[in-house]
Amino acid sequence: MLMDMDHNPEEENEYYIDMKNDTYKVRISEGRCPFCSGEKEQDYIYKDVLQHATESANSGELEEKVNHLALVKYLKKYLAPVTNQSLPKAKCSTPSECDRDELFVWPWVGVIANIPIEKKNGRFVGESGTKLREYLTKKGFNPTQVHPLWSRGGHSGYAIVSFEKDWPGFKNAMAMEQFFETDHHGRRDWLSLRYCHHGSSLYGWVARKDDYICRDIIGNYLTKVGDLKTCADIVEEEKRKTSQLVTKLTNVIGEKDKNLNEIRSKYDETNNSLKSFMEQKDRLHQLYNEEKKKMHQNAQDNFRRMIQGHEKLRSVVELERKELEARGKELEKREAQNENDRRKLVDEKK
Protein backbone atom coordinates (compact mmCIF):
# COMPACT_ATOMS: atom_id res chain seq x y z
CA MET A 1 0.00 0.00 0.00
CA LEU A 2 1.21 3.50 -0.81
CA MET A 3 1.62 5.95 2.03
CA ASP A 4 -0.57 9.07 2.09
CA MET A 5 1.30 12.10 0.83
CA ASP A 6 0.66 15.63 -0.23
CA HIS A 7 0.74 15.97 -3.99
CA ASN A 8 -1.14 17.54 -6.84
CA PRO A 9 -3.59 14.97 -8.40
CA GLU A 10 -3.71 17.02 -11.60
CA GLU A 11 0.05 16.75 -12.00
CA GLU A 12 -0.10 13.01 -11.37
CA ASN A 13 -2.85 12.74 -13.99
CA GLU A 14 -0.71 14.66 -16.48
CA TYR A 15 2.11 12.10 -16.08
CA TYR A 16 -0.43 9.30 -16.44
CA ILE A 17 -1.80 10.79 -19.67
CA ASP A 18 1.73 11.31 -20.98
CA MET A 19 2.44 7.60 -20.47
CA LYS A 20 -0.80 6.67 -22.24
CA ASN A 21 0.19 8.91 -25.14
CA ASP A 22 3.70 7.41 -25.15
CA THR A 23 5.34 10.73 -24.22
CA TYR A 24 6.95 8.69 -21.45
CA LYS A 25 7.61 5.21 -22.82
CA VAL A 26 6.98 2.38 -20.40
CA ARG A 27 8.66 -0.72 -21.86
CA ILE A 28 9.04 -3.64 -19.50
CA SER A 29 11.24 -5.42 -22.05
CA GLU A 30 13.68 -2.49 -22.11
CA GLY A 31 14.29 -2.90 -18.40
CA ARG A 32 14.24 0.70 -17.23
CA CYS A 33 12.03 3.25 -15.50
CA PRO A 34 11.02 6.17 -17.79
CA PHE A 35 11.64 8.64 -14.96
CA CYS A 36 14.99 7.22 -13.78
CA SER A 37 17.05 7.47 -16.96
CA GLY A 38 20.30 7.48 -15.04
CA GLU A 39 19.82 3.96 -13.71
CA LYS A 40 21.71 1.06 -15.19
CA GLU A 41 19.47 -1.03 -17.41
CA GLN A 42 18.42 -4.37 -15.99
CA ASP A 43 16.42 -7.34 -17.18
CA TYR A 44 13.28 -6.26 -15.28
CA ILE A 45 10.00 -8.06 -15.20
CA TYR A 46 6.68 -6.51 -14.23
CA LYS A 47 6.91 -7.02 -10.47
CA ASP A 48 10.39 -5.46 -10.33
CA VAL A 49 9.27 -2.31 -12.14
CA LEU A 50 6.12 -2.13 -9.98
CA GLN A 51 8.16 -2.54 -6.79
CA HIS A 52 10.62 0.15 -7.93
CA ALA A 53 7.78 2.58 -8.75
CA THR A 54 6.03 1.86 -5.42
CA GLU A 55 9.18 2.43 -3.38
CA SER A 56 9.97 5.66 -5.29
CA ALA A 57 6.40 6.87 -4.73
CA ASN A 58 6.87 6.47 -0.97
CA SER A 59 10.19 8.31 -0.78
CA GLY A 60 12.18 11.04 -2.44
CA GLU A 61 11.24 14.45 -3.73
CA LEU A 62 7.67 15.46 -4.43
CA GLU A 63 8.02 15.37 -8.22
CA GLU A 64 9.59 11.92 -8.03
CA LYS A 65 6.68 10.71 -5.89
CA VAL A 66 4.10 12.15 -8.27
CA ASN A 67 5.52 10.67 -11.49
CA HIS A 68 6.09 7.27 -9.87
CA LEU A 69 2.53 7.27 -8.52
CA ALA A 70 1.36 7.80 -12.08
CA LEU A 71 3.66 4.95 -13.18
CA VAL A 72 2.13 2.60 -10.57
CA LYS A 73 -1.35 3.48 -11.83
CA TYR A 74 -0.31 2.89 -15.46
CA LEU A 75 1.39 -0.43 -14.67
CA LYS A 76 -1.60 -1.80 -12.79
CA LYS A 77 -4.08 -0.78 -15.49
CA TYR A 78 -2.21 -1.57 -18.71
CA LEU A 79 0.61 -4.00 -17.95
CA ALA A 80 -0.94 -6.14 -15.22
CA PRO A 81 -1.35 -9.25 -17.49
CA VAL A 82 2.40 -9.91 -17.28
CA THR A 83 2.45 -9.95 -13.46
CA ASN A 84 4.91 -12.32 -11.75
CA GLN A 85 6.27 -13.83 -14.93
CA SER A 86 9.07 -13.20 -17.32
CA LEU A 87 8.42 -12.49 -20.97
CA PRO A 88 5.96 -15.11 -22.26
CA LYS A 89 6.89 -17.53 -24.97
CA ALA A 90 5.72 -16.98 -28.53
CA LYS A 91 2.37 -18.50 -29.34
CA CYS A 92 3.96 -20.89 -31.77
CA SER A 93 7.38 -21.14 -33.29
CA THR A 94 7.11 -24.60 -34.88
CA PRO A 95 4.38 -26.23 -37.04
CA SER A 96 3.38 -28.63 -34.25
CA GLU A 97 2.60 -25.72 -31.88
CA CYS A 98 0.30 -23.89 -34.32
CA ASP A 99 -3.46 -24.07 -34.69
CA ARG A 100 -3.96 -26.33 -37.69
CA ASP A 101 -6.83 -24.13 -38.95
CA GLU A 102 -5.14 -20.75 -38.42
CA LEU A 103 -4.48 -19.11 -41.76
CA PHE A 104 -1.21 -17.21 -42.23
CA VAL A 105 -0.05 -15.19 -45.20
CA TRP A 106 2.52 -17.26 -47.07
CA PRO A 107 5.41 -16.54 -47.58
CA TRP A 108 5.74 -15.35 -43.98
CA VAL A 109 5.28 -11.61 -43.65
CA GLY A 110 4.69 -9.21 -40.79
CA VAL A 111 2.92 -5.86 -40.61
CA ILE A 112 4.48 -2.80 -39.00
CA ALA A 113 2.09 0.04 -38.16
CA ASN A 114 2.38 3.56 -36.79
CA ILE A 115 5.62 4.36 -38.60
CA PRO A 116 6.36 8.06 -37.95
CA ILE A 117 5.42 10.18 -40.97
CA GLU A 118 5.19 13.87 -41.67
CA LYS A 119 3.72 15.96 -44.43
CA LYS A 120 6.10 17.69 -46.83
CA ASN A 121 5.09 19.47 -50.00
CA GLY A 122 1.59 18.05 -49.80
CA ARG A 123 2.71 14.39 -49.39
CA PHE A 124 3.42 12.22 -46.38
CA VAL A 125 7.01 10.98 -46.04
CA GLY A 126 8.63 8.57 -43.57
CA GLU A 127 11.73 6.55 -42.91
CA SER A 128 12.97 4.10 -45.52
CA GLY A 129 12.49 0.38 -45.27
CA THR A 130 16.25 -0.03 -44.86
CA LYS A 131 16.32 1.74 -41.49
CA LEU A 132 13.35 -0.29 -40.22
CA ARG A 133 15.00 -3.49 -41.43
CA GLU A 134 18.19 -2.57 -39.57
CA TYR A 135 16.14 -1.95 -36.43
CA LEU A 136 14.37 -5.32 -36.65
CA THR A 137 17.62 -7.10 -37.46
CA LYS A 138 19.25 -5.54 -34.41
CA LYS A 139 16.38 -6.97 -32.35
CA GLY A 140 17.25 -10.42 -33.72
CA PHE A 141 14.28 -11.00 -36.06
CA ASN A 142 16.38 -11.23 -39.26
CA PRO A 143 13.89 -9.94 -41.86
CA THR A 144 14.86 -10.31 -45.50
CA GLN A 145 13.11 -7.13 -46.64
CA VAL A 146 10.95 -4.28 -45.36
CA HIS A 147 8.58 -2.73 -47.89
CA PRO A 148 6.88 0.55 -46.87
CA LEU A 149 3.35 0.90 -48.23
CA TRP A 150 2.63 4.05 -50.23
CA SER A 151 -0.70 5.49 -51.28
CA ARG A 152 -1.69 8.47 -53.36
CA GLY A 153 -1.06 10.73 -50.39
CA GLY A 154 2.43 9.33 -49.82
CA HIS A 155 3.75 7.13 -47.04
CA SER A 156 0.86 5.29 -45.35
CA GLY A 157 2.63 4.69 -42.04
CA TYR A 158 2.54 0.92 -42.68
CA ALA A 159 5.24 -1.48 -43.88
CA ILE A 160 5.34 -5.16 -44.80
CA VAL A 161 8.20 -7.22 -43.35
CA SER A 162 9.31 -10.31 -45.27
CA PHE A 163 11.02 -13.32 -43.70
CA GLU A 164 12.77 -16.41 -45.03
CA LYS A 165 10.42 -19.02 -46.53
CA ASP A 166 11.26 -21.68 -43.93
CA TRP A 167 10.50 -22.55 -40.30
CA PRO A 168 13.37 -20.47 -38.89
CA GLY A 169 11.81 -17.56 -40.80
CA PHE A 170 8.43 -18.37 -39.22
CA LYS A 171 10.06 -18.48 -35.80
CA ASN A 172 11.60 -15.04 -36.38
CA ALA A 173 8.21 -13.65 -37.48
CA MET A 174 6.47 -15.00 -34.37
CA ALA A 175 9.27 -13.66 -32.16
CA MET A 176 8.73 -10.21 -33.69
CA GLU A 177 5.01 -10.43 -33.02
CA GLN A 178 5.60 -11.49 -29.42
CA PHE A 179 8.06 -8.63 -28.97
CA PHE A 180 5.36 -6.10 -29.84
CA GLU A 181 2.61 -7.92 -27.93
CA THR A 182 4.72 -7.91 -24.77
CA ASP A 183 4.63 -4.10 -24.83
CA HIS A 184 0.92 -4.11 -25.75
CA HIS A 185 1.74 -3.04 -29.29
CA GLY A 186 0.31 -5.98 -31.16
CA ARG A 187 -2.56 -6.13 -33.64
CA ARG A 188 -5.31 -6.19 -31.00
CA ASP A 189 -3.80 -3.17 -29.28
CA TRP A 190 -3.60 -1.34 -32.59
CA LEU A 191 -7.23 -2.08 -33.45
CA SER A 192 -8.47 -1.27 -29.94
CA LEU A 193 -6.97 2.20 -30.29
CA ARG A 194 -8.07 2.68 -33.88
CA TYR A 195 -9.73 5.98 -33.12
CA CYS A 196 -7.32 7.09 -30.38
CA HIS A 197 -3.84 8.53 -30.35
CA HIS A 198 -1.31 5.69 -30.72
CA GLY A 199 1.72 7.64 -29.59
CA SER A 200 5.02 7.38 -31.45
CA SER A 201 5.79 3.68 -30.89
CA LEU A 202 5.65 1.02 -33.57
CA TYR A 203 3.03 -1.72 -33.62
CA GLY A 204 3.68 -5.06 -35.25
CA TRP A 205 2.25 -8.52 -35.87
CA VAL A 206 2.36 -11.50 -38.23
CA ALA A 207 -0.01 -11.19 -41.18
CA ARG A 208 -2.97 -13.55 -41.07
CA LYS A 209 -6.34 -14.04 -42.77
CA ASP A 210 -7.90 -10.87 -41.31
CA ASP A 211 -5.11 -8.76 -42.79
CA TYR A 212 -5.25 -10.60 -46.12
CA ILE A 213 -8.99 -10.20 -46.72
CA CYS A 214 -9.17 -6.63 -45.43
CA ARG A 215 -9.89 -4.20 -48.26
CA ASP A 216 -7.26 -1.65 -47.35
CA ILE A 217 -3.70 -0.86 -48.42
CA ILE A 218 -2.36 -3.80 -46.38
CA GLY A 219 -4.82 -6.35 -47.77
CA ASN A 220 -4.35 -5.12 -51.33
CA TYR A 221 -0.59 -5.58 -51.08
CA LEU A 222 -0.78 -8.98 -49.35
CA THR A 223 -3.11 -10.41 -52.01
CA LYS A 224 -0.51 -9.48 -54.63
CA VAL A 225 2.50 -11.06 -52.92
CA GLY A 226 1.13 -14.02 -50.99
CA ASP A 227 -1.51 -16.66 -50.32
CA LEU A 228 -3.39 -17.90 -47.26
CA LYS A 229 -2.15 -21.20 -45.86
CA THR A 230 -2.22 -23.04 -42.57
CA CYS A 231 0.92 -24.47 -41.04
CA ALA A 232 -0.49 -27.91 -41.79
CA ASP A 233 -0.93 -26.95 -45.45
CA ILE A 234 2.69 -25.80 -45.63
CA VAL A 235 3.93 -28.95 -43.90
CA GLU A 236 1.96 -31.12 -46.32
CA GLU A 237 3.20 -29.09 -49.26
CA GLU A 238 6.76 -29.48 -48.03
CA LYS A 239 6.21 -33.23 -47.65
CA ARG A 240 4.77 -33.39 -51.17
CA LYS A 241 7.66 -31.35 -52.58
CA THR A 242 10.13 -33.46 -50.62
CA SER A 243 8.50 -36.64 -51.93
CA GLN A 244 8.60 -35.30 -55.49
CA LEU A 245 12.20 -34.27 -54.99
CA VAL A 246 13.10 -37.69 -53.60
CA THR A 247 11.36 -39.37 -56.55
CA LYS A 248 13.09 -37.05 -58.99
CA LEU A 249 16.45 -37.61 -57.34
CA THR A 250 15.82 -41.38 -57.29
CA ASN A 251 15.14 -41.29 -61.03
CA VAL A 252 18.18 -39.11 -61.61
CA ILE A 253 20.32 -41.46 -59.50
CA GLY A 254 18.92 -44.46 -61.43
CA GLU A 255 19.72 -42.74 -64.73
CA LYS A 256 23.15 -41.80 -63.44
CA ASP A 257 23.75 -45.41 -62.34
CA LYS A 258 22.69 -46.61 -65.79
CA ASN A 259 25.02 -44.14 -67.46
CA LEU A 260 27.75 -45.09 -65.02
CA ASN A 261 27.34 -48.78 -65.84
CA GLU A 262 27.49 -47.97 -69.55
CA ILE A 263 30.60 -45.90 -68.98
CA ARG A 264 32.14 -48.70 -66.90
CA SER A 265 31.32 -51.18 -69.66
CA LYS A 266 32.87 -48.91 -72.29
CA TYR A 267 35.82 -48.33 -69.99
CA ASP A 268 36.36 -52.07 -69.50
CA GLU A 269 36.04 -52.60 -73.25
CA THR A 270 38.45 -49.79 -74.01
CA ASN A 271 40.78 -50.97 -71.26
CA ASN A 272 40.80 -54.50 -72.66
CA SER A 273 41.40 -53.17 -76.17
CA LEU A 274 44.19 -50.99 -74.90
CA LYS A 275 45.68 -53.90 -72.98
CA SER A 276 45.52 -56.07 -76.10
CA PHE A 277 47.02 -53.26 -78.15
CA MET A 278 49.85 -52.81 -75.67
CA GLU A 279 50.55 -56.54 -75.65
CA GLN A 280 50.58 -56.54 -79.46
CA LYS A 281 52.79 -53.49 -79.44
CA ASP A 282 55.21 -55.23 -77.06
CA ARG A 283 55.30 -58.29 -79.30
CA LEU A 284 55.88 -56.17 -82.40
CA HIS A 285 58.56 -54.23 -80.60
CA GLN A 286 60.23 -57.49 -79.57
CA LEU A 287 59.99 -58.84 -83.13
CA TYR A 288 61.36 -55.57 -84.45
CA ASN A 289 64.32 -55.73 -82.11
CA GLU A 290 64.98 -59.37 -82.98
CA GLU A 291 64.69 -58.62 -86.70
CA LYS A 292 66.90 -55.60 -86.34
CA LYS A 293 69.48 -57.66 -84.48
CA LYS A 294 69.27 -60.38 -87.11
CA MET A 295 69.66 -57.87 -89.95
CA HIS A 296 72.64 -56.32 -88.20
CA GLN A 297 74.22 -59.76 -87.78
CA ASN A 298 73.51 -60.62 -91.41
CA ALA A 299 75.01 -57.34 -92.54
CA GLN A 300 78.14 -58.05 -90.52
CA ASP A 301 78.32 -61.59 -91.95
CA ASN A 302 77.80 -60.30 -95.49
CA PHE A 303 80.43 -57.61 -95.01
CA ARG A 304 82.83 -60.17 -93.63
CA ARG A 305 82.14 -62.51 -96.57
CA MET A 306 82.59 -59.60 -98.97
CA ILE A 307 85.93 -58.75 -97.43
CA GLN A 308 86.99 -62.36 -97.57
CA GLY A 309 85.83 -62.69 -101.23
CA HIS A 310 87.60 -59.43 -102.09
CA GLU A 311 90.84 -60.66 -100.55
CA LYS A 312 90.50 -63.96 -102.36
CA LEU A 313 89.76 -62.25 -105.64
CA ARG A 314 92.68 -59.90 -105.17
CA SER A 315 94.95 -62.91 -104.61
CA VAL A 316 93.68 -64.57 -107.78
CA VAL A 317 94.13 -61.37 -109.76
CA GLU A 318 97.64 -60.93 -108.38
CA LEU A 319 98.50 -64.49 -109.31
CA GLU A 320 97.09 -64.09 -112.83
CA ARG A 321 98.98 -60.76 -113.17
CA LYS A 322 102.18 -62.50 -112.28
CA GLU A 323 101.42 -65.32 -114.72
CA LEU A 324 100.69 -62.78 -117.45
CA GLU A 325 103.89 -60.94 -116.74
CA ALA A 326 105.79 -64.19 -116.91
CA ARG A 327 104.11 -65.10 -120.15
CA GLY A 328 104.74 -61.61 -121.49
CA LYS A 329 108.46 -61.95 -120.76
CA GLU A 330 108.49 -65.33 -122.35
CA LEU A 331 106.71 -63.91 -125.39
CA GLU A 332 109.23 -61.12 -125.56
CA LYS A 333 111.97 -63.70 -125.47
CA ARG A 334 110.24 -65.68 -128.16
CA GLU A 335 109.69 -62.56 -130.17
CA ALA A 336 113.38 -61.68 -129.87
CA GLN A 337 114.26 -65.24 -130.83
CA ASN A 338 111.90 -65.11 -133.73
CA GLU A 339 113.45 -61.77 -134.81
CA ASN A 340 116.87 -63.43 -134.73
CA ASP A 341 115.55 -66.43 -136.63
CA ARG A 342 113.94 -64.12 -139.20
CA ARG A 343 117.13 -62.23 -139.64
CA LYS A 344 119.03 -65.40 -140.04
CA LEU A 345 116.50 -66.57 -142.62
CA VAL A 346 116.80 -63.30 -144.49
CA ASP A 347 120.50 -63.58 -144.37
CA GLU A 348 120.33 -67.12 -145.59
CA LYS A 349 118.05 -66.04 -148.43
CA LYS A 350 120.42 -63.40 -149.44
Over 330-344, what HEC string results?
HHHHHHHHHHHHHHH
Lowest mean pLDDT among 8-12, 83-87, 133-137, 258-262: 83-87
Residue 204 has what pLDDT? 94
pLDDT digits (tens, 9 = 90+) for 45-70: 555 666 677 777 666 666 666 667 76
Q: How confident is the model at residue 92 (pLDDT cuts 50, 70, 90)?
A: low
The domain segmentation of the chain, as residue ranges, is 9-82, 95-225
Contact (Cβ atoms closer than 8 angstroms) between residue 214 and residue 181? no
Residue 232 has what pLDDT? 87
Helix (H, G, I), strand (E, B) or coil at 104: strand
Residue 44 has what pLDDT? 47
Measure the CA–CA gap between 183 and 204, rounded to whole angstroms.
11
Q: How confident is the model at residue 253 (pLDDT cuts 50, 70, 90)?
A: very high
pTM: 0.51
Measure the CA–CA gap between 164 and 244, rounded to whole angstroms.
22
Mean pLDDT of 170-194: 89
Q: Which of 82, 103, 179 is nearest to 139 (CA)?
A: 179
- State the average pLDDT for the chain: 80
Lowest mean pLDDT among 88-92, 240-244, 305-309: 88-92
| Strand 203-206, strand 109-113: pairing | antiparallel
Is CATH 3.20.20.450 correct for 95-225?
no
